[in-house]
Amino acid sequence: MTGLFTGLSAFPLTPMTEQRIDEAAFTGLVARLHQANVDSIGALGSTGSYAYLTAAERHRVAELAVQAADGTPVMIGIGALRTAEVLRHAENAQNAGASAVLLPPMSYQPLTDDEVYQLYADVTAELSVPLCVYDYPGTTHFSFSDELHSRIAALPNVASIKIPPTLADPAAARERVDRLRRVIPDTVAIGVSGDASAAGGLLAGADLWYSVLGGVWPEPCLALTRAAQRGRSAEVDPSANGGNAINHVVSAPDVTAGRRRKFVVRRETGGAYARSGQMKVGRSRGSSTGIGADRAIRGHPPARGAAL
């Protein structure tokens, strides 16, 4: 397991209109993540709207991400409907200087386990960087079994699995992480997604947090991650209301689905990021983020009570 797949992996938005990518806004987001000392950056994930971009646009975003990250490891999403296109995105990502790639099993028709396994086998055979398996049925409409994870994890260059949100019950979360870990090599990291379950997933033994919220406000998410890595459950318990100078993500937006959900990030040392609001990120290139996210894209904390 490499240092790339530990801690906080922050996933920035890709600001855009129907006509173009806002390169200045995107590089500003990535540079801010580097300055915050996140452990890695995940560009062109679902949050980064990869599915709505052309191959040329995706290549450009990969180049911008690596440049703006200034040495912070960058993982680039390479998902596509056709294996040939996945391989093309993988080559472009590696040429751009990506430290790793992220691969979801995209499809129009439902996929079988063998088809998904073959996708990862074909891609990993051509890679010179580590690969993270993207397991999120809410976006791919494909559910991985542990047996399939075991088969894929044995392939060369597979270094991490991005799992769906863990259950709120700590024992159930621990059981889920332990059950998966028993069937994969020790060299493969388990990363939890779904910001609302991040604390529970990390405390249950996940190696890292693949975070949407961290791509907008890295500082509070990084503090939560570090506390969880130290096993300080009282400090990262989403139900806690005070007593420790730590950040609590008590409810996070499911931005990949374009839904509106309340979230709160609480910081009790000065309250610089103590804000509550809503976030909406639509499915199309013409959709817009709210005021709070707009401020974050420009490198500022959200205004008090702003809509995210």
**Rounded to whole angstroms, what are the CA distances from 300 to 16, 292, 293, 296, 304?**
19, 9, 9, 5, 12
Place of tokens 């007593």: 243
Residue 236's pLDDT band, with cuts at 50, 70 and 90, is confident
pLDDT tens column, 1-43: 567 999 999 999 999 999 999 999 999 999 999 999 999 999 9
DSSP 8-state class, residue 267? E
The first and second tokens of residue 123, run together, are 């891609």
Q: Is the pLDDT of residue 167 over 60?
A: yes
Of all residues in the chain, what percent carry a pLDDT higher than 70?
Answer: 76
Q: Is the pLDDT of residue 288 over 60?
A: no
Q: Is the pLDDT of residue 307 over 70?
A: no
Of 62-71, 156-165, 275-284, give the lowest mean pLDDT range.
275-284
pLDDT tens column, 95-146: 999 999 999 999 999 999 999 999 999 999 999 999 999 999 999 999 999 9
DSSP 8-state class, residue 164? P
**Rounded to whole angstroms, what are the CA distances from 250 to 11, 79, 168?**
19, 30, 12
Spatial CB neighbours of 229, under 8 Å, sequence gap ≥ 6: 7, 202
| Residue 177 neighbours by CB distance under 10 Å | 22
pLDDT tens column, 246-287: 344 434 444 444 443 333 333 322 332 222 223 333 333 333
Say what angle helices 170-181 and 146-153 make with each other, to 10 degrees.
40
Spatial CB neighbours of 187, under 8 Å, sequence gap ≥ 6: 1, 159
The pLDDT score that the predictor gives to residue 271 is: 31
Tally the C-alpha atoms within 13 A of residue 158's C-alpha that lie toward its C-beta.
Answer: 25
The pLDDT score that the predictor gives to residue 238 is: 55
d(CA 71, CA 97): 10
Domains of the chain, start order: 3-237 (3.20.20.70)
Of all residues in the chain, what percent carry a pLDDT higher than 90?
Answer: 72
Q: How far is CA 286 from the centre of its chain?
A: 22
Residue 170's pLDDT band, with cuts at 50, 70 and 90, is very high
End-to-end CA distance of the chain: 35
Please name which of 124, 154, 201 lies closest in space to residue 146, comparing C-alpha atoms. Answer: 154
Q: What type of residue is 262? A: K
